Structure 1
Amino acid sequence: MNRTPAFPRQADRRGRILVVDDQPTNIMVANQILSPEHDIFMATNGEQAIAFCRATPPDLVLLDVEMPDMNGMDVCRHLKDAPDTGGIPVIFVTGHQGQEQEIACWEAGAVDFVTKPVIPATLRNRVNAHLTLKFQADQLRSLAFTDGLTGIANRRLFDERLDQAWRHCQRSGATVALILSDVDHFKKYNDCYGRSAGDECLRQVAAALQVQAQRPYDLAARFGGEEFACLLPETSLAGAVSVAIRMEAAVRELRIEHAASDVSPCVTLSLGVAAIEPEADADFRQLIERADAQLYLAKGTGRGRVCAV
């Protein structure tokens, strides 16, 4: 039976809002207006805001335009440029009015703006309107990008996120890593225990792999059949190998009986790992090909192991 994710009703869901302002008084005002309905987090400069969004992405950012060092426009552009934060809606709070300011807000990537001094009813209504749109989009995206059997990301989302991560790392000069894994002798497992047991096996393996994709921008996905992928942006080969080793161990620790396997009496994984610093004219398929070659090597040299390049 297919599983679809369970979502809270929108009326029951509190938004997670990051308020960014270098003036604590302004943060306090926003908190008083919005905290009865939503969970409010605070940052007093652009670097704090970006770090918070990457570590624990909020549902919406309420962002002051004028701040020292890194102004709100720069913060917004930085968030929109990164694959893991680009979908967070940003509402600017500005003390300036006029056509040029409005155009600058839209061009930076904002979904709306409010002017100072803030009118409580206006702020609440605009925040709630954009949160409603965000929650609806989250639901639709999750349904479209979730594997019906395992409940983790499907191939469609993996392809989208890999393309985003690849382009982001091209711009930043960072390394992107990929782990491809395959359940060893899965056809024999199905033949021995039946397809229903095989489906449950895949669900348990998927859940174990997803736990190891620990950062918000890591992605564990069902790649196809009994094959899984884990995308690790901004990760070195050594870091990705460490994750792969934990994944291999986590699946063994499930102790799913596999009497038909010649690797182990329990279900095991073969894993291939690759990492690339994307060049300007490179294609992300190179990363898949390298990881797949290492997966083939792991399967050809005994299975139940990690190979990397």
Structure 2
Amino acid sequence: MNDDKPRVLIVDDERSNISLLGNLLSPDCEVVVATDGESALRRAAAEARPDIILLDVMMPGMDGYQVCRQLKESDLTRDIPVIFITAMGEEDDEALGLRIGAVDYVTKPFSPAILKMRIRTHVELKRLRDHWQRLSTVDALTQVANRRCFDEALETAWRTTMRNEQTLALIMIDVDHFKAYNDHHGHAAGDVCLRRLAQVLGREVKRAGDLFARFGGEEFVCLMPDADLVGAETVGRRMCAAVAELAIQHDHPAVQATVSISLGLAVLAPNKRTNPTDLIVEADRRLYDAKRGGRNRISAAFVGAPGG
């Protein structure tokens, strides 16, 4: 396994079973415990999520099958592997457990060595999947979220803010005169410039629910659910100031300045007559206005109201 100890959530209403599994796994794992279905779901969805869940079937109230179904229905927990550990050894029981999403089914009494090997295997597979998932959503050059990640986040944020009757803000960021920068300084220097900009711009996105991503080429975006015009503009001004502090020299004869950015900002309240593309179009219009107005500035607009 990784050098980091895997976090294992043990779900069982019998203290003796918890003690047995805890003693077996604690030397190699960080063990978290839940004694009923409701607390298991809460701990599984916590900020520090488990790498794997060992789940008993027979529990009072919500049984293990119900817990597993709910885990697999949630975006937060569906990718956490579940191993059923139970005295119910009938073939139909095992088939049901695997059908509803468990990765393994271990009947009691079990071999401690075999159980540890199975846990190790499933944790390693999960970490490998997480690694590949991260690669698929991170921009290779700048190491911030990529366009695919942004598109998925926009769809999710759109549905959430529409359901909650909230606003959704989008900042589109373009590096001024970037083609001229590449032509004069070279593409390798251009890549370094983009990486430095992505680093400082991303640091100005401080709320947990906001997303900073590379949109494409020299364009970046910042998606801000439940943000108003004033709050989004504040972030935009911080971004402009952070880029100015970098003082990256732009020595093209037609520019002769430091690298700057232009920002287009739109705030919209999603409703059934609009779609996510509308927000991108509005932010792009504001970006065009900022460019036309002289660059190195913000153009912002509020373009909708809840239920409008």
Q: TM-score, structure 2 length as denominator?
A: 0.71
In the alignment, structure 1 residue 131 sits paired with structure 2 residue 123: yes
* 1:303 paired residue among 268, 273, 296: 296
Give the Cα separation in 1 of the matches to 2:165 and 2:58.
Answer: 29
* 2:9 paired residue among 8, 15, 19: 19
Give the Cα separation in 1 of the matches to 2:281 and 2:85.
Answer: 46
The structure with the largest alpha-carbon Rg is 2
Match of 1:87 in 2: 79
Does the C-alpha gap of structure 1 residues 135 and 305 become closer, same or farther in structure 2, counting only changes over 3 Å? same
Alignment of 1:1-309 (within 5 A): 11-19=1-9, 21=11, 25=15, 29-41=20-32, 45-46=39-40, 48-49=42-43, 51-52=45-46, 55-63=47-55, 80-83=72-75, 85-93=77-85, 102=94, 105-106=97-98, 109-114=101-106, 120-166=112-158, 177-213=169-205, 218-232=210-224, 234-237=225-228, 240-258=232-250, 265-274=257-266, 278-279=270-271, 283-301=275-293, 302-305=295-298, 307-309=300-302
Whether the 8 Å contact between 1:81 and 1:168 is mirrored in structure 2 is no
Match of 2:306 in 1: none
C-alpha distance after superposition, 1:58-116 (max 9, x if no partner): 43344566778877666655654554554333445556565676566456544334456
The letter of the residue matching 1:284 is P
Structure 1, 37-46 or 204-213: larger mean CA deviation: 37-46
CA RMSD of aligned residues (A): 4.2
Cα displacement (A) at 1:225: 0.6
* Structure 1 spans left out of the alignment, 5+ residues: 1-10
Does the C-alpha gap of structure 1 residues 58 and 187 become closer, same or farther in structure 2, counting only changes over 3 Å? farther
Cα displacement (A) at 1:133: 1.4
Whether the 8 Å contact between 2:171 and 2:221 is mirrored in structure 1 is yes
Give the Cα separation in 1 of the matches to 2:285 and 2:3.
Answer: 44
Cα displacement (A) at 1:228: 1.1
Whether the 8 Å contact between 1:208 and 1:251 is mirrored in structure 2 is yes
Question: What is the DSSP-based 3-state SS (H/G/I as helix, E as strand, rest coil) of the residue aligned with 2:248?
Answer: coil
C-alpha distance after superposition, 1:231-254 (max 9, x if no partner): 44x543365555444433333332
Cα displacement (A) at 1:207: 1.9
Structure 1, 252-261 or 68-77: larger mean CA deviation: 68-77
C-alpha distance after superposition, 1:277-304 (max 9, x if no partner): 6556754323322332333344344433
Give the Cα separation in 2 of the matches to 1:175 and 1:120.
Answer: 53
Whether the 8 Å contact between 2:165 and 2:269 is mirrored in structure 1 is yes
Cα displacement (A) at 1:130: 1.4
The letter of the residue matching 2:278 is Q
Does the C-alpha gap of structure 1 residues 200 and 173 become closer, same or farther in structure 2, counting only changes over 3 Å? same
Give the Cα separation in 1 of the matches to 2:167 and 2:59.
Answer: 31
Whether the 8 Å contact between 1:263 and 1:303 is mirrored in structure 2 is no
* Structure 2 spans left out of the alignment, 5+ residues: 303-308
Does the C-alpha gap of structure 1 residues 308 and 72 become closer, same or farther in structure 2, counting only changes over 3 Å? farther
C-alpha distance after superposition, 1:160-211 (max 9, x if no partner): 4434554566677776543321112222332443322211110111122333
Structure 1, 36-45 or 165-174: larger mean CA deviation: 165-174
Q: What number of residue pairs does the alignment pair up?
A: 296
Whether the 8 Å contact between 2:83 and 2:106 is mirrored in structure 1 is yes
Question: What is the DSSP-based 3-state SS (H/G/I as helix, E as strand, rest coil) of the residue aligned with 1:236?
Answer: coil
Cα displacement (A) at 1:150: 1.7
Does the C-alpha gap of structure 1 residues 89 and 194 become closer, same or farther in structure 2, counting only changes over 3 Å? same
Q: TM-score, structure 1 length as denominator?
A: 0.71
